[in-house]
């Protein structure tokens, strides 16, 4: 059952009135581009970039005094901010360069027996799924892909898919808090609790979650939780963290073994010590996490909570507009949306397929991103059970976005959308 195309597309003024931009002048984005892809790499406010520049200038005036004296308390300030945002003790939070590094640190630290099973989702971020496969192969263990239903009607279906994949050999699950391509907010606390009850610990890849969703580590209960601050918290790039539950910290090593591994000669360092000083690097992205959060807190009277709520409401509202305009069914319920929405376009070919068959999406990508200058990802999702690969696009809603930006987005894909791709009962 397709959704009849609506004739009455709201006009730009109405959309902007419903979803006005919040302080767009605070970002440095190109005004010539309809930028609806905060999700891929984030975007950092101008004042935070200026602060980072100042810090770098200070570092270059005296690198020793900056790196050894000035930076550590500023890094601690950011650690406190992150720990506060996720309801964790700061001593259980360490900084990493990005979520990929966090996933690598955990998985490459763990020991498995031949035949052990490690679960990961069919919607997992490719780089992170690769780490699971690499580590499993090294130990003679099995990387087990859990098929997430797509389209999906209820978050409980995702939990059911994960829990029904557990066997007596399952040792760990790597689960996304928010899936990358499909933008699904998963019921992570339920999943972790269900796995725990079956004796399975969880590594959460939460690359998108901070700044998109409220996070409470006590409630989530995961052994490991890694996330980016350079996405929805708008910190400069290469700012991310790894939380490790206190009882799981032994043996978790950073991706680079450094001085802290022997506590500078004083014996085995604790988690903080082991992740301290991973070779010379630029600490300014991490230092600026605190500044970025302060900016986001200042944008609306209700602070970051109000901003997350606004971004979510905008994603929900604009997805309804798009689905009506294209005459399509939404692929997931609104309760599984954060501040991104992924929509199906047509049956196509896998992303890495460089044959002629992928020409249609390559041409589309070129037209949308280069000619029309609508910045959104165009991605594929393989439907399970031998189903086809379906090409999708995804839009993101951050403070600087305004409702009327959905109009060029709708227009860019209107000719290629196949409203019958996901025929089925009403969803949403
Ligand atoms: C779910 C998920 N995991 C991991 C990543 C990788 O993030 P990074 O490149 O910052 O490591 C992404 C990036 O979009 C993602 O969506």
Instruction: Tell me, using a 6 A CB cutoff, whether residue 128 lines ligand 1.
Output: yes
Instruction: Tell me, using a 6 A CB cutoff, whether residue 238 lines ligand 1.
Output: no
Q: Which atom of ligand 1 is nearest to the CA of 231?
A: 10
Separation of alpha carbons 298 and 354, rounded Å: 46
Q: Which atom of ligand 1 is nearest to the CA of 103?
A: 4
Instruction: Tell me, using a 6 A CB cutoff, whether residue 182 lines ligand 1.
Output: no
- Does residue 1 have a pLDDT over 90? no
Q: Which atom of ligand 1 is nearest to the CA of 177?
A: 1
Where is pLDDT greater, at 265 or 182?
182
Work out the pLDDT band at 98, boundaries 50, 70, 90: very high
pTM for this prediction: 0.96
Q: Which atom of ligand 1 is nearest to the CA of 179?
A: 1
Separation of alpha carbons 394 and 341, rounded Å: 5
CA of 136 to the centre of ligand 1 (A): 20
Q: Which atom of ligand 1 is nearest to the CA of 39?
A: 14
- Does residue 357 have a pLDDT over 50? yes
Work out the pLDDT band at 260, boundaries 50, 70, 90: confident
Residue 267 has a pLDDT of 75
Residue 183 has a pLDDT of 98
Residue 7 has a pLDDT of 60
Question: Span 196-204, mean pLDDT?
Answer: 98
Q: Which atom of ligand 1 is nearest to the CA of 102?
A: 11
What is the three-class DSSP state of 379?
A: strand
DSSP state of 371: I
Distance of CA 329 to the CA centre of its chain: 24
Instruction: Tell me, using a 6 A CB cutoff, whether residue 103 lines ligand 1.
Output: no
Q: Which of 349, 375, 352, 372 is nearest to 360 (CA)?
A: 349
The residue length of the chain stands at 428
CA of 400 to the centre of ligand 1 (A): 22
Neighbours of 143 (CB within 10 A): 18
Separation of alpha carbons 118 and 96, rounded Å: 23
Q: Which of 169, 172, 174 is nearest to 121 (CA)?
A: 174
Q: Which of 197, 200, 227, 203 is nearest to 215 (CA)?
A: 227
Instruction: Tell me, using a 6 A CB cutoff, whether residue 176 lines ligand 1.
Output: yes
Tens of pLDDT, residue by residue over 264-315, are: 777 778 999 999 999 999 999 999 999 999 999 999 999 999 999 999 999 9
Work out the pLDDT band at 355, boundaries 50, 70, 90: low
Which H or E run contains 35?
A: strand 34-35
Tell me which of 227, 228, 241, 255 to substitute to probe ligand 1's pocket, judged by most ligand atoms within 8 Å of the beta carbon: 228
Instruction: Tell me, using a 6 A CB cutoff, whether residue 131 lines ligand 1.
Output: no
Tell me which of 43, 95, 99, 232 to substitute to probe ligand 1's pocket, judged by most ligand atoms within 8 Å of the beta carbon: 99
CA of 324 to the centre of ligand 1 (A): 30
CB-facing half-sphere around the CA of 272: CA atoms within 13 A? 10
Tell me which of 126, 180, 232 to substitute to probe ligand 1's pocket, judged by most ligand atoms within 8 Å of the beta carbon: 180
Tens of pLDDT, residue by residue over 220-257, are: 999 999 999 999 999 999 999 999 999 999 999 999 99
Separation of alpha carbons 378 and 351, rounded Å: 9
Question: Span 21-30, mean pLDDT?
Answer: 98
Which residues 6+ apart lie within 8 Å of 58 measured at CB? 66, 70
% of the chain residues with pLDDT over 90: 87
Separation of alpha carbons 318 and 208, rounded Å: 20
Residue 387 has a pLDDT of 83
Separation of alpha carbons 82 and 265, rounded Å: 30
Residue where the block lists tokens 């901010």: 81
Residue ranges per structural domain of the chain: 12-20+301-413, 49-292
Instruction: Tell me, using a 6 A CB cutoff, whether residue 141 lines ligand 1.
Output: no
Q: Which of 404, 340, 410 is nearest to 368 (CA)?
A: 410
Instruction: Tell me, using a 6 A CB cutoff, whether residue 205 lines ligand 1.
Output: yes
Instruction: Tell me, using a 6 A CB cutoff, whether residue 228 lines ligand 1.
Output: yes
The CATH number, out of the four listed (3.40.50.170, 3.40.50.920, 3.40.640.10, 3.40.980.10), of the domain defined by the range 49-292: 3.40.640.10
Separation of alpha carbons 247 and 221, rounded Å: 11
The CATH number, out of the four listed (3.40.35, 3.40.50, 3.90.1150, 1.20.120), of the domain defined by the range 12-20+301-413: 3.90.1150
CA of 239 to the centre of ligand 1 (A): 12
């Amino acid at each position: 059952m397709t959704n009849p195309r609506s004739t009455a597309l709201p006009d730009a003024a109405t959309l902007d009135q419903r979803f006005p931009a919040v302080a767009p002048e605070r970002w440095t984005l190109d005004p010539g581009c309809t930028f609806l892809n905060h999700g891929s790499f984030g975007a950092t406010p101008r004042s935070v970039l200026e602060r980072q520049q100042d810090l770098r200038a200070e570092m270059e005036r005296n690198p020793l005094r900056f790196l050894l004296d000035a930076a550590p308390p500023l890094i601690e300030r950011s650690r406190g901010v992150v720990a506060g945002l996720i309801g964790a003790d700061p001593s259980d939070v360490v900084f990493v360069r990005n979520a990929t590094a966090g996933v690598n640190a955990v998985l490459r630290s763990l020991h498995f027996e031949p035949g052990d099973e490690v679960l990961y989702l069919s919607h997992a971020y490719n780089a992170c799924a690769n780490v699971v496969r690499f580590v499993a192969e090294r130990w003679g263990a099995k990387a087990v892909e859990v098929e997430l239903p797509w389209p999906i009607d209820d978050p409980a279906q995702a939990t059911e898919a994960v829990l029904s994949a557990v066997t007596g050999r399952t040792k760990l699950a790597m689960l996304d808090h928010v899936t990358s391509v499909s933008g699904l907010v998963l019921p992570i606390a339920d999943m972790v609790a269900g796995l725990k009850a079956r004796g399975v610990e969880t590594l959460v890849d939460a690359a998108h979650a901070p700044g998109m969703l409220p996070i409470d580590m006590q409630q989530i209960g995961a052994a490991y939780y890694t996330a980016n601050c350079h996405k929805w918290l708008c910190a400069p790039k290469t700012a991310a963290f790894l939380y490790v539950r206190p009882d799981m910290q032994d043996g978790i090593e950073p991706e680079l073994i450094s001085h802290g591994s022997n506590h500078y000669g004083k014996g085995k360092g604790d988690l903080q010590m082991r992740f301290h000083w991973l070779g010379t690097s630029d600490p300014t992205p991490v230092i600026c996490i605190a500044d970025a959060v302060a900016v986001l807190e200042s944008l609306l009277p209700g602070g970051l909570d109000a901003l997350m709520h606004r971004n979510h409401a905008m994603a929900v509202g604009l997805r309804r507009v798009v689905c009506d305009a294209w005459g399509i069914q939404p692929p997931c319920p609104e309760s599984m949306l954060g501040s991104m929405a992924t929509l199906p376009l047509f049956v196509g070919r896998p992303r890495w397929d460089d044959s002629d068959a992928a020409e249609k999406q390559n041409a589309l990508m070129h037209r949308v991103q280069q000619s029309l200058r609508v910045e959104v990802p165009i991605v594929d999702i393989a439907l399970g059970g031998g189903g086809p690969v379906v090409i999708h696009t995804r839009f993101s809603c951050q403070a600087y976005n305004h409702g009327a930006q959905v109009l060029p987005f709708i227009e860019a894909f209107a000719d290629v959308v196949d409203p019958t791709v996901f025929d089925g009962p009403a969803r949403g």
